């Protein structure tokens, strides 16, 4: 079709809408106060967060690349150099040359390091790929222990286990040689990592877990919920967030981050890249950044590379700098969103807080579930003031409440409200009480929130 000054192509309409949507953040650039931060790391630090990137040891002699790294980012991930095939190429013989080069550069520049990744079905060294059973389990645990011990005290957060859930509708674990050593391989890896480096945050990291409605997301959620309930040492969940037209930023992205945070873990955006260009790409980056800023326990964002040409999918131009190292529109939208700010990462306490009176209260749930049923035990904890009474709201995504104890109930499906009974309304500052209920369905996503009275 020949475009005249009167005809408007669909592409032009889309770009106009996207440009309008972005208008608010671009206007912010014009209104940016003189003291607004001018780099991604400094802008994120204003709310206590980090802004990081993955880097490759092989590019570290590129002065444009290193210049952008040093200027813009305050967290670094080795794109490939800390993976199992890189750090233990032969069994029992560890190799840290490239990983150290990245880690030492980052630390010398005052940057922190995310470790990626201790245990993964992919990028295993050849000797490990052919192993199975207890010898594989022991080799995996030895790898976790050796690498986490070698870097003890130097890693902000480890991706202890990477990509262990299946895509599709099952919500189940991915089949792999590691999975076939027994379903407890993930918790065994987390326990080994905690013992080796008690100061590192321990994360589970995956892709296609950015949409709350996906079965894979729910599978990971149930695992984290179970780990928290049983005291398996997990501190954070990483959302890789590789987006493109087939896998766009989900409309419930912020809700998803919040729901995981409500389990009592930090959430981190760990491998962000968004294919596209211009204002539509910029507005997607804006949305992701704002989602993190809106979730108190979203600790920071890492993009998966510096320039488009450094990306594992360079054809999609998914990053914040073009191939020459120039800032893209996406860069400006992220910087502006970070400068607009949000609440800082909060204390490492569990779950949702609703705070209408000083002190407030929090609620957390521990779940015992089976095929189509569950028992939920809800713990209500007073904040810095004593409670006279409390109200809890829970959400049943499916099923109904069939019985309950130690609380009054209103409703039995969907949003269910609970209030204290006579004997458990008074809770001292910092003290807790519990009530419980049984229901049909999975009990996933109850997300209790507490209102103090
Ligand atoms: O360095 C060698 C080079 O010497 C050799 O000639 C060439 C031939 O294939 O391979 C080069 O290594 C490649 C390496 O990237 C460095 O470019 C590997 O083949 C290639 O498999 C590797 O891909 C990496 C991929 O993970 C697999 O580990 C990507 O760089 C890396 O961005 C990507 O990152 C993953 C995260 O770890 C987990 N989440 C998804 C993400 C994207 O796939």
Q: Are strands 236-239 and 201-206 parallel, antiparallel or unpaired?
A: parallel
Set 79, 163, 187, 275: catalytic member: 163
Q: Over the stretch 120-144, which tens digit does the pLDDT of each residue have?
A: 999 999 999 999 999 999 999 999 9
User: Which residue minimizes the CA distance to atom 22 of ligand 1?
Assistant: 80
Q: Over the stretch 316-348, which tens digit does the pLDDT of each residue have?
A: 999 999 999 999 999 999 999 999 986 666 433
* 207 close to 240: Cβ distance less than 8 angstroms: yes
pLDDT value of position 371 = 82
Mean pLDDT over 205-210 rounds to 98
- What spacing in Å lies between the alpha carbon of 435 and ligand 1's midpoint? 50
pLDDT value of position 366 = 87
User: Which residue minimizes the CA distance to atom 16 of ligand 1?
Assistant: 80
Closest CA to 15 of 275, 281, 279: 279
- What spacing in Å lies between the alpha carbon of 424 and ligand 1's midpoint? 56
- What spacing in Å lies between the alpha carbon of 366 and ligand 1's midpoint? 39
Q: Is the pLDDT of residue 28 over 80?
A: no
Tokens read off for 14:
């889309």
The Cα–Cα gap between 328 and 58 comes to 24
The Cα–Cα gap between 140 and 11 comes to 50
Q: Point out the ligand 1 atom lying closest to the alpha carbon of residue 117.
A: 37
Q: Is 163 a catalytic residue?
A: yes
Average pLDDT in the chain = 89
The Cα–Cα gap between 383 and 430 comes to 5
Mean pLDDT over 240-251 rounds to 98
pLDDT value of position 180 = 98
Please choose from 55, 57, 77, 79 the residue to mutate so as to test ligand 1's pocket, defined by most ligand atoms within 8 A of CB.
79
pLDDT value of position 343 = 66
pLDDT-based confidence at residue 260 (cuts at 50, 70, 90): very high
Between 91 and 15, residue with greater pLDDT: 91
* 141 close to 131: Cβ distance less than 8 angstroms: no
Q: Which helix (H) or strand (E) holds 302?
A: strand 298-303
User: Which residue minimizes the CA distance to atom 13 of ligand 1?
Assistant: 80
Cite the beta strand spans of 35-135 per DSSP E: 50-55, 75-78, 112-120
Q: Is the pLDDT of residue 267 over 50?
A: yes
Set 72, 88, 271, 275: catalytic member: 271
Cis peptide before 211 (omega within 30 of 0): no
Q: Is 187 a catalytic residue?
A: no
pLDDT value of position 370 = 82
pLDDT-based confidence at residue 388 (cuts at 50, 70, 90): confident
Which amino acids bring their CB within 6 angstroms of ligand 1? 79-80, 123, 207, 240, 271, 312
- Of 34-48, 102-116, 205-219, give the lowest mean pLDDT range: 34-48
User: Which residue minimizes the CA distance to atom 12 of ligand 1?
Assistant: 80
pLDDT value of position 406 = 85
- What spacing in Å lies between the alpha carbon of 121 and ligand 1's midpoint? 14
Mean pLDDT over 173-201 rounds to 98
Between 34 and 83, residue with greater pLDDT: 83
- What spacing in Å lies between the alpha carbon of 89 and ligand 1's midpoint? 15
Between 350 and 199, residue with greater pLDDT: 199
User: Which residue minimizes the CA distance to atom 43 of ligand 1?
Assistant: 312
Q: Point out the ligand 1 atom lying closest to the alpha carbon of residue 56.
A: 16
- What spacing in Å lies between the alpha carbon of 78 and ligand 1's midpoint? 11
User: Which residue minimizes the CA distance to atom 23 of ligand 1?
Assistant: 312
Q: Is the pLDDT of residue 56 over 70?
A: yes
Tokens read off for 446:
């109850």
Closest CA to 441 of 409, 416, 406, 420: 416
- What spacing in Å lies between the alpha carbon of 80 and ligand 1's midpoint? 6
Q: Is the pLDDT of residue 236 over 70?
A: yes
Q: Is the pLDDT of residue 356 over 90?
A: no
Mean pLDDT over 392-412 rounds to 89
Helix (H, G, I), strand (E, B) or coil at 446: coil
User: Which residue minimizes the CA distance to atom 41 of ligand 1?
Assistant: 271
pLDDT value of position 342 = 67
pLDDT value of position 34 = 61
Q: Is the pLDDT of residue 26 over 70?
A: no
């Amino acid at each position: 079709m020949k475009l005249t000054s009167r005809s408007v192509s669909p592409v032009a309409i889309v770009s106009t809408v996207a440009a309008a949507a972005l208008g608010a953040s671009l206007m912010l650039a014009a209104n940016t106060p003189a003291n607004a931060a001018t780099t991604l790391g400094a802008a994120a630090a204003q709310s206590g967060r980090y802004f990081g990137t993955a880097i490759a040891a092989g590019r570290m002699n590129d002065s444009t690349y290193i210049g952008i790294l040093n200027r813009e980012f305050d967290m670094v991930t080795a794109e490939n150099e800390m993976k199992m095939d890189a750090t233990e190429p032969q069994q029992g013989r560890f190799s840290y040359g490239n990983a150290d080069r990245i880690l030492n550069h980052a630390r010398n520049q005052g940057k922190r390091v995310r470790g990626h990744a201790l245990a993964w079905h992919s990028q295993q060294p050849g000797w490990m790929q052919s192993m199975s059973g207890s010898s594989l389990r022991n080799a995996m645990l030895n790898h976790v222990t050796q690498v986490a011990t070698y870097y003890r005290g130097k890693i902000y957060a480890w991706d202890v286990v990477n990509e262990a859930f299946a895509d599709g509708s099952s919500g189940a674990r991915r089949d792999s040689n590691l999975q076939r050593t027994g379903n407890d391989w993930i918790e065994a890896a987390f326990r080994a990592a905690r013992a080796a480096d008690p100061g590192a945050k321990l994360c589970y990291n995956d892709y296609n877990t950015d949409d709350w409605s996906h079965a894979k997301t729910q599978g990971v959620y149930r695992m984290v919920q179970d780990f928290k309930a049983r005291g398996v040492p997990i501190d954070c969940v990483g959302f890789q967030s590789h987006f493109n037209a087939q896998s766009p930023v989900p409309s419930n992205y912020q809700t998803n981050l919040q729901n995981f945070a409500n389990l009592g873990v930090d959430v981190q955006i760990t491998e962000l890249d968004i294919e596209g260009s211009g204002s539509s790409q910029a507005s997607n980056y804006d949305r992701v950044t704002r989602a993190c800023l809106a979730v108190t326990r979203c600790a920071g964002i890492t993009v998966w590379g510096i320039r488009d040409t450094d990306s594992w999918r360079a054809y999609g131009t998914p990053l914040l700098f073009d191939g020459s190292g120039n800032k893209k529109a996406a860069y400006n939208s992220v910087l502006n969103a970070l400068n607009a700010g949000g609440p800082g990462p909060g204390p490492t306490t569990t779950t949702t807080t609703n705070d209408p009176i000083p002190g407030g209260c929090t609620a957390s749930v521990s779940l015992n579930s089976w095929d189509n049923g569950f028992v939920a035990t809800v713990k209500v904890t007073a904040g810095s003031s004593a409670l006279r009474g409390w109200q809890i709201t829970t959400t049943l995504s499916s099923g109904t409440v069939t019985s309950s104890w130690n609380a009054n109930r209103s409703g039995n499906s969907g949003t269910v409200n609970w209030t204290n009974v006579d004997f458990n309304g008074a809770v001292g500052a910092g003290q807790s009480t519990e009530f419980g209920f049984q229901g049909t369905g999975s009990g996933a996503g109850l997300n209790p929130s507490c209102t103090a009275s």
